[in-house]
A and B are shown apart, each in its own frame.
Chain A
Amino acid sequence: MRPIRDAFETFQRAPLLSALSVTTIAFSLFALGLFGLVALNIREALERLEDRVEIRAFVAEGTPPEDLVQAANDIATFPEVLSADLVTQEQALKRAQSELGEFRDVFEGAVLPASIDLRLKPGLRDPATVKRVADRVKTYSFVDDVRYGEEWIEKLYRLRNISGIAGLVLGVVFAVVSVIIIGATIRMTVLARAKEISIMRLVGATDGYIRRPFLVEGFAKGVLGGLLALALTWISQTLINKYVIHTIFFDARVAVLGLLFGALIGLLGSAVSVGRHLRRAWWCALVAALVLVLPAPATAQSAEARIRAQREELDRIRRERADLESRMANLQGNVHELREEVANLDRQREATERVIQTLDRQLTAITKDVDETSARADKAERELSSRRTTLQRRLVDIYKRGPLYSAEALLTARSFGELVARYKYLHELATQDRALVARVQTLRDQVTRQRADLVRLRSAVEENRMDKQLEEERLARLRGERTTNLQQVQRSAQQILDRLAALRASESRLTNVIAAIESERRRSAATRPNAPRETSTLRTSDLGRLEWPVEGTVLYRFGRVVNPNNTTTRWNGIGIAAATGTGVRAVAPGTVVSVGQLGTYGLTVIVQHGAGDYSVYASLNSASVRTGGAVRKGDMIGTVGTSDPDLRPHLHFEIRPQGRAVDPESWLRGAR
């Protein structure tokens, strides 16, 4: 019992060291256990794979069903064949939908080839036999594709052999490593007890006796380490089962064997170390690094931002315009002057113009966007159809590969990297295709929606533009009208002013003429002092008694007259309207002192009635008297004419006693 007590004492005396060695053993056995699990599961998987070796002969479309049934029966009689089942197109579709459940919808309406599925008898599933049978099946004329995973079946067999050898080699390697590790840990306790050992030897303890506690210790450590490793392995396996993939665990027999193995290498390790010669400790280090590369997500951009900016710009201009319009309304309400109205109209028109220009620019931009979007929609559509085709093709291919396609990927890989790549490839490709199809579809829908939005926006803008155009035209017309009005008014005002000026000029000329005549008369009267004192033929008794020089209505009266356009005119006589050519008679006897054109008075006859009194007949068409000639009362002196284009044909008649103009109507009879 002493060796056990001694061994126990060692654990007690150096618990940390002991725990360390137990853990070390546990971990090396754990590694062994993990590899063992992998090997076990690979073997298990390979066995199951072999069970599933099958040949699928896909037949050409349109082969008569009875031919297929006949062929299937034929093939079933081959000596190697266990069974040959006919799978129709409908069954193929159903099978694909269940095998590739996630693509159920994609298979909707797809046509998958019919096939004859062969299973070989157990023991006749080696590559050579499979190939032979496959070649034979290929000879049927309607068989156009035979799939049996030629590459992977061969690899499967090779892998099965290799996995056996690898398991053995790995087992040996790990056993050796474990022995070395256990030896090293035991050696530490041996060293710790070197003095004790030397004394034991000195007092005659046998080598066996000395060695025994160490062996017990090694054994115990081996068993403990083994148990720990078993627990660790079991936990790992449980975790793997839960999170990664279903695996199988060692059965009880193998587990006990593993424990025994642990105990054995524990014993072996201590036996190796308890020799008198110390050996070097071996250190083994394993470094594994995994680098994960995460793909960076891509970003996309749209024309929406630009359109939004343009819309804002348009809104701004619209607001500006509305402002102007209201100001215009104000102006229209408050301001009467045409000029301001025109200027306002101009501003309004300018604003409208700017709106139109902006709208035009927007239209151009939107049209460009629409074009681009249309192109993108087209491209997306094309892409979608090509993706769909790819996906369908891939799925048919996956279907043809059968349920073993993932195993095939695993087994035909030439390197670990390729294995991962291919496994991922096959496993994910279709899913990715499908995601791509969905993405492209969404993209296309988006683009189409965007395009519709843009088109709607464009027509709205166009409508708006049309409105503005009409408004601009209306404004232009309005402005034209207003301008014409303004010009007319301005012109007529000017004309009036001109006429007034002319009238004033003519009047002063007339006054001058009369003044000149009067001064001449006075001079001549002075040279003849003995001559009888002149008397006027226009007597005060004649007031209101004189005959009218021409019969007609009064066109204008003497004195200040307010015109309709707010101008005022001073007339020195009256206008008597009469038809052109009507005869004009002298109102009193006298001498004609002037016949001639006199500015705006036109053809004018001035008659002197003596003693500085005159009468004036203007706006004549013709004169029938000559200067110096005498006229009697009622003598014809000319005919009515036109002097002012703005006035009807009339006679301008003045009476100027002593040269000063007075209202002729007071002299004329029956003043009207």
Chain B
Amino acid sequence: MIRFTRVTKTYPRTGTAVQDVSLTVNKGEFVFLTGASGAGKTSLLRMVYLEERPTSGEVRVAGTSSVTATARDVAKLRRKLGIVFQDFRLLEHRTVEQNVSFALEVIGAPTAVISGKVNRVLTQVGLASKGRAFPRELSGGEQQRVAIARALVNDPFALIADEPTGNLDDRATRGIFQLLREINAAGTAIIMATHNLELIRRQEFRTIEMARGQIVFDSAEPSATPKPAP
């Protein structure tokens, strides 16, 4: 469903961020992506939703190829993906409901279905009672729940979360992680970049570790043993 084939990403000024990565993520899978800061996690994720195109190699996501995709194809693809960031990226001047419904409106969803979908997804993330609040009136964990709700409202097949708990305290982190697990349980694949090793260690999910742009460990590989850093 998501396949990287010998993907290398080189930025003009900062050099190679991802080097020769090949990777497959299956439907409904929960993947942790770890590694030191600057290892290339974000770059890898950006290539998943085709914000960046590989310098060489190919990324295929749900039938969309990074080599051939048009801008329109990219837009279409993103409607089937949910994306969450460390900094939530909510619209300050809109209420929780409006932030969520915005994701439906801008892709031209029929007005009739919007409010129902928004209510359902807000209930799912546990914010049914705060639909009319503005983001600044919410705690960090709640704000991230709004972002997740917005990511989920289009029923994506996969949720891409780049350090979603990076700004949260332990309690909120556990809450968000719990929510993601529930989402995953409902069938949505999740790729979550994090360096909260504490969180990973207690889980049985697939873990991919990156260093200097390369995958140095993938728990899904049968022969996987942590490579020592050179």
Interface residues of A (CB under 8 A from B): 2, 195-196, 198-207, 209-210
17 examples of A-B residue contacts, CB within 8 angstroms: A2-B105, A195-B89, A199-B91, A202-B78, A202-B83, A203-B107, A203-B154, A204-B80, A204-B107, A205-B75, A205-B107, A207-B71, A207-B72, A209-B106, A209-B107, A209-B108, A210-B106
Contact indicator per residue, chain B 66-78, by CB within 8 Å of chain A (1) or not (0): 0000011001111
In the bound complex, residues from chain A placing their C-beta under 8 Å from that of B75 are: 201, 204-207
Q: Known interface pairs A209-B106, A209-B108. Does A203 touch B91 (Cβ–Cβ under 8 Å)?
A: no
B181 at the interface (CB under 8 A from A): no
Apart from A199-B89, A210-B106, what 5 extra A-B contacts exist at CB < 8 Å?
Answer: A2-B105, A199-B91, A204-B107, A207-B72, A207-B75
Nearest CB in chain B: distance from A540 CB, A: 178
B108 engages A198 (CB within 8 Å): no
Contact indicator per residue, chain B 127-165, by CB within 8 Å of chain A (1) or not (0): 000000000000000000000001000100000000000
Nearest CB in chain B: distance from A354 CB, A: 106
Which one of B71, B72, B78, B89 has the greatest number of beta carbons of chain A within 10 Å?
A: B78
In the bound complex, residues from chain A placing their C-beta under 8 Å from that of B195 are: none
Q: How far is the CA of A199 from the CA of B103 in the complex (A)?
A: 8
A196 engages B91 (CB within 8 Å): yes
Q: How far is the CA of A204 from the CA of B71 in the complex (A)?
A: 10
A203 engages B71 (CB within 8 Å): no
Q: Nearest residue in A to B92 (C-beta to C-beta)?
A: A195
B106 engages A203 (CB within 8 Å): yes
Q: How far is the CA of A205 from the CA of B102 in the complex (A)?
A: 10
B106 engages A200 (CB within 8 Å): yes
Give the residue of A2, A203, A209, A210 whose beta carbon is less than 8 angstroms from that of B78.
Answer: A203
Q: Known interface pairs A204-B77, A205-B106. Does A198 touch B71 (Cβ–Cβ under 8 Å)?
A: no
B117 at the interface (CB under 8 A from A): no
In the bound complex, residues from chain A placing their C-beta under 8 Å from that of B76 are: 204
B206 at the interface (CB under 8 A from A): no
Nearest CB in chain A: distance from B62 CB, A: 12
Nearest CB in chain B: distance from A519 CB, A: 171
Q: Nearest residue in B to A199 (C-beta to C-beta)?
A: B89
In the bound complex, residues from chain B placing their C-beta under 8 Å from that of A202 are: 49, 78, 83, 89
In the bound complex, residues from chain B placing their C-beta under 8 Å from that of A209 are: 106-108
Nearest CB in chain A: distance from B83 CB, A: 6
Q: Nearest residue in A to B106 (C-beta to C-beta)?
A: A205
Q: How far is the CA of A195 from the CA of B89 in the complex (A)?
A: 8
Q: How far is the CA of A198 from the CA of B106 in the complex (A)?
A: 12
Q: How far is the CA of A207 from the CA of B78 in the complex (A)?
A: 13
In the bound complex, residues from chain B placing their C-beta under 8 Å from that of A200 are: 102, 106
A203 engages B150 (CB within 8 Å): yes
Nearest CB in chain B: distance from A270 CB, A: 18
Closest 3 pairs between A and B when the two form their complex, measured CB to CB: A204-B78, A204-B79, A205-B106
B103 engages A203 (CB within 8 Å): yes
